[in-house]
Structures are given as C-alpha cells and as structure tokens.
C-alpha cells in the first residue's frame, strides 16, 4: 500500500474517532440510558465541548469526500508524487490537530490549522493536473 493510501486509511480511522468523540461526550452528560434509548428527545447539551466536537466532526466531513476522491484518483492515474505525499500528510496531521484545538475553543490557531489541511488537499488536486 502506498503512503498516500495509508494516510487515507488513517483519515478514515480518524473519521470514525470523530463519530465516537461527541457520542461519548453526550453519553457522559446524559447517561447510558439516554444513549441506549430511542433518543426521540435529545436535550440540549450544557457542555460546550459536546457542540465543539460535533462541529469539528461536521467540518471534517465537508472536506473528506474531496480528499478521498483526490487520493484515489492520484493513485489510480499514477499521479502520486512529492506533492501528493506532502498533501496527504498535511491534511491528516492538520485534521488530527484540529480536534483538540476546536474542543478547547482555541481561536485563530484552529483556523490556521484548518487552512493547513485545505492546503494539503489543494496540493493533491494540483498533482492531478501537472
């Protein structure tokens, strides 16, 4: 498996982790009975971290489909290069750093880290056209 595909697989694991983090935080707040139930009435969380983790998850899911597509197209067409390697690494590690920054409510740096992940995605896309 190429390094790019390894980073893609790691990003998919990260996506799974980002499903579990807000779910776990909500369960801690509302209890296992709430989680095991139908959750027809989800109470509003009073813990800001819950909402931040949910928004961080949403944010990942906005760029995840283009990332997956770009990595797969690069692999299938043989466009993997130093650009794609840098792109996947920047995207993945920025997404990892983004989670605690968002959960802790760190402004500006969080946005800068998001831009780094976007730059990684753009590097992969650029590699497809050169």
pLDDT digits (tens, 9 = 90+) for 93-128: 999 999 999 999 999 999 999 999 999 999 999 999
Q: What pLDDT score was predicted for residue 39? A: 78
Q: What pLDDT score was predicted for residue 64? A: 98
Biggest alpha carbon–alpha carbon distance for the chain = 54
Q: Torsion angle, CA of 76/11/97/54, rounded to 10 degrees?
A: 130
Taking only the tens place, the pLDDT of each residue in 1-52 is 999 999 999 999 999 999 999 999 999 988 898 888 887 887 888 899 999 9
Closest C-alpha among 119, 115, 87 to residue 101:
115
Q: Which pair of structure tokens corresponds to residue 79?
A: 């466009």
125 contacts 72 by C-beta, under 8 angstroms: no
120 contacts 89 by C-beta, under 8 angstroms: yes
Q: Which pair of structure tokens corresponds to residue 74?
A: 């690069």
């Amino acid at each position: 498996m190429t390094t790019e595909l390894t980073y893609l697989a790691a990003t998919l694991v990260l996506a799974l982790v980002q499903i579990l983090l807000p779910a776990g935080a909500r369960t801690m707040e509302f209890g296992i009975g709430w989680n095991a139930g139908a959750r027809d009435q989800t109470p509003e969380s009073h813990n800001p971290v819950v909402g931040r983790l949910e928004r961080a998850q949403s944010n990942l899911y906005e760029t995840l489909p283009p990332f997956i597509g770009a990595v797969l197209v690069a692999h299938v067409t043989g466009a993997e290069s130093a650009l794609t390697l840098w792109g996947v690494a920047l995207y993945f590690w920025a997404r990892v750093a983004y989670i605690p920054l968002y959960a802790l409510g760190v402004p500006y740096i969080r946005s800068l880290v998001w831009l780094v992940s976007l730059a990684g995605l753009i590097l992969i896309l650029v590699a497809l056209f050169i």
